[in-house]
Amino acid sequence: MGDDHGLNSSPCIPSVSPPNENSADQKAEQFARLLATCQRKVFLYALGLLHNATDAEEVLQETNIVLWRKFDEYEPGTAFDRWACRVAYFEVLKYREKAGRDRRVFGVPLIETLAAEAGSVLDEFDDRRDALEGCLAKLRDVDKALVLQRYQPGATTRGVAETLGRSVQGTRKSLHRIRASLLTCIERTLAAEERS
Partner 1 sequence: MSHSEPRVTKELQELTAGACDGDLSDRETARLEALLLGSAEARSYYLRYLHLHGELHWQQAVAADTSGPASAATGPSISLPAPVVSPPRRDRVSRLRLIGFLASAVAAVVLLVLAYRALPDRQPAPQPPTVPVAEAKLSGAVQPRWQAGAPAPAIGQAVPLDRPLVLERGTIEITDPSGTRLLIKAPAAFRFAPGGRLELQSGRVAVLVTGTPSFELALGGASVVPESGTIGALIEDRAAEVHVFEGSATLYRTEPIGGTLQESNTALASGEAARWIVDTTSPLERISAVPTSFPRQLPDRQPDRSVAQMRSLVTRHSHLIHHYTFEGTSRVEKCRDKQGSLHLTEAVMHGGRGRGLVDYTAEGIDLTTEAIRPHREGQNGNEIGSALQSEVRFHCPQAMTVELLLKYELPTDVNDDSVALALATRDADVDCGFFVAAAGEGYLSLLLDADADWLEMDMQFKPDHWYYLAVTFDTGQEDTIVSAYAADLTAGQRQLQPLVVDEVVAGVPAVSRLGIGKGFDYAGAHAYPWPGSIDEVAIYDAVLDQVTLQQRIDVLLP
147 part of the interface to partner 1, by CB under 8 A: yes
Note the residue count of the chain.
Answer: 196
Give 86 or 177: the residue with its C-beta nearer to partner 1. Answer: 177
Task: State the nearest-atom distance from the C-beta of 67 to partner 1, in Å.
Answer: 8
Single out the segment in contact with partner 1 by CB under 8 A; choices: 11-19, 80-88, 89-97, 150-158.
Answer: 150-158
Binding of residue 181 to partner 1 (CB under 8 A): no
Shortest Å distance, C-beta 77 to partner 1: 19
One DSSP character per residue, the chain reads --GGGGGG-SS----SPPPPTT-HHHHHHHHHHHHHHHHHHHHHHHHHHH--HHHHHHHHHHHHHHHHHTGGG--TTS-HHHHHHHHHHHHHHHHHHHHTTTS----HHHHHHHHHHHHHHHTTHHHHHHHHHHHHHHS-HHHHHHHHHHTSTT--HHHHHHHHT--HHHHHHHHHHHHHHHHHHHHHHHHHHHH-
Question: Does residue 31 touch partner 1 according to CB under 8 A?
Answer: yes
Does 195 bind partner 1 (CB under 8 A)? Our answer is no
Interface with partner 1 by CB under 8 A: which range of 12-20, 81-89, 91-99, 126-134? 126-134
4 interacts with partner 1 by CB under 8 A: yes
165 binds partner 1 (CB under 8 A): yes
Per CB under 8 A, which of residues 64..123 are in contact with partner 1? 64-65, 67-69, 103-107, 109-110, 113-114, 117-118, 121-122
User: What's the min distance (Å) between Cβ of 164 and partner 1?
Assistant: 6
- Selected from 148, 191, 192, 193, the binder of partner 1 by CB under 8 A is 148
| C-alpha torsion 56→58→62→67, nearest 10 | 40
- Binding-residue total with partner 1 (CB under 8 A): 87
